[in-house]
Amino acid sequence: MYKFQPNTANDPLEWYWFKNGFSNEEVDQIVAESANWGLTTAGITDAGILNEEARKSAIAWIPQVDRYKWIYEKLGNMITEANKELWKFDLTGMNEQIQYTEYYQDGGHYEYHLDVGGGYPLNQRKISITVQLAGPDEYEGGEFQILKGKNPDSLPKNKGCVLVFPSYILHRVTPITQGTRRSLVLWVGGDSCK
């Protein structure tokens, strides 16, 4: 697997990636299984009303059961490697399920946001991981971008690549103009951020 080599050691805003983290066969297996998870509309709510200007997507949750243990273990190993190389956070485990997400061509997107926040489990998240389940030939738009400075960085979007980054980095998915972008997302954390 190809791994991103950081330009600056101990940069708290650096990200890590595995170019071929999942094989095409593994990705196809995950996408086929998604029919079992029950997709629901996801979004940000304002006073109980869905705000599609902030987020427009569908999500499902992958249960932590034996059938999907291999996915959790594979992601856990990648997170451990990236954390050892870059941030050295104190991690205590995966307390959340993997999120399967679809962004559709009718403008599916997710505006800039952080994966951390107040209250459990948001206040426990330290590392976020995203798996690209669709290649750039399957959709247009849908750039996964992080914002470390004035201009966003578009991260790789080849099928099967895995992106690992600190949960406190601003990131977004730009609007889809054609096709469907599919991904997995997982967060790993611990107690206070150290």
User: CA-CA-CA-CA torsion for 140, 146, 151, 153, nearest 10 degrees?
Assistant: -60
For 78-115, what is each residue's pLDDT tens digit?
999 999 989 999 998 888 999 999 998 888 999 999 99
**What residues contact residue 149 under an 8 Å CB cut-off, 6+ apart?**
none
Quick check: 3 pLDDT over 60?
no
If residue 111 lies in a helix (H) or strand (E), which one and from where to where? Answer: strand 109-113
- Strands, DSSP E only, in 22-179? 40-42, 44-46, 49-51, 55-62, 98-103, 109-113, 125-132, 139-141, 144-147, 152-154, 162-166, 170-173, 176-179
Q: What are the chain's domains?
A: 16-189 (2.60.120.620)
Confidence of residue 2 (pLDDT cuts 50, 70, 90): very low
